Amino acid sequence: MSFPPPQPPEQGATFAGTLIVYQIGNDLHHASSKACYTSTSQVEVERLSNDILIPASAYSPLFPSGFTRAPDPLPQNCYIKKPGLTSYDRISKESQPDHIAESVLLEATVSPQGRITGLCFVRYNRTLMQEVSPGSMMKRTLRSNLDERRRRDYNQILANIESGIKHLHSLGLVHNDINPSNIMLDGDDGDDETVFIIDFSSCRRVGESLEDVGRTYEWYDEQVHDALPQSDLDALKEIHVEGGSVWETSRISFVHTTPSL
């Protein structure tokens, strides 16, 4: 188990508990606690609650014949996606996609036992959040800390993101987690720069319930409980409010990447 350095809570945030993934032998477990920890030495496994044994198939499934095994060494333009298990208790109750979007997947890394250990995706340069807020500040902190050296006009970027969102809506799908960390920029500033919307783990069909769907704190309306196209557009407006008045123009092409559900 590992913990990042403790951070002061954002104004208005309330501590609800700690989700823990720990290993005993070859077994991984998911559990929760009402305590707040700053190091692994403080965790007492016997005092944890809601303990779940995570099956290997949930984080290291067998390698299917239709996938491509990643080369060794891996190419430099490759991003290795590892499973995040802190939300396993919630994810295990949801219906799972039956396949992965091949338009963004390159290949898979495989263990000697024939199990997938990571998915290799195209690596993009940076997120919109990393560009305007290198410290990945939350929204209300970002308002007062925009770096003067990074100011440019992102109106065209936002217009292209809106185009991608509306394309998704035309397919009957809602992203439900539009925020600066889920927008990738690739290439140099200017004509060759490309924008991608990523992270479709919260994507649902229009009208579906958002109960237990993970969304980013401060970047969604807590009063909205169903997948509504307007929610994506409202989130985009929030991004525009945070920086639109201080950013300069850049021409970008948008690449549609359709998620597999």
- CA distance linking residue 251 with residue 244, whole number of Å: 15
Alpha helices in the chain (DSSP H): 56-59, 88-91, 128-132, 139-143, 155-170, 229-243
Report the phi/psi class of residue 50: left, alpha or beta, with left for phi > 0 and alpha for psi in -120 to 50: left
SS3 107: strand
Over 70: is that where the pLDDT of 194 sits? Answer: yes
Average pLDDT over residues 2-9: 50
- The fold of the 126-254 domain, in CATH, is Transferase(Phosphotransferase); domain 1 (1.10.510)
Across the chain, what does the average pLDDT equal? 74
CA atoms within 13 A on the CB side of 255: 16
pLDDT of residue 59: 84
Over 70: is that where the pLDDT of 11 sits? Answer: no
- CA distance linking residue 169 with residue 176, whole number of Å: 11
Q: How confident is the model at residue 196 (pLDDT cuts 50, 70, 90)?
A: confident
- The ranges assigned to domains in the chain are 1-54, 59-123, 126-254
Average pLDDT over residues 241-245: 47
Of the listed ranges 24-33, 127-136, 153-162, 171-180, the one predicted with least confidence: 127-136
What tokens were used for 133?
């807020």
- CA distance linking residue 126 with residue 202, whole number of Å: 21
Strands 194-197 and 253-254 turn out to be parallel
Q: How confident is the model at residue 153 (pLDDT cuts 50, 70, 90)?
A: low
Consecutive H or E run containing 174: strand 173-174
Work out the widest C-alpha separation in the chain, in whole angstroms: 57
Q: How confident is the model at residue 33 (pLDDT cuts 50, 70, 90)?
A: very high
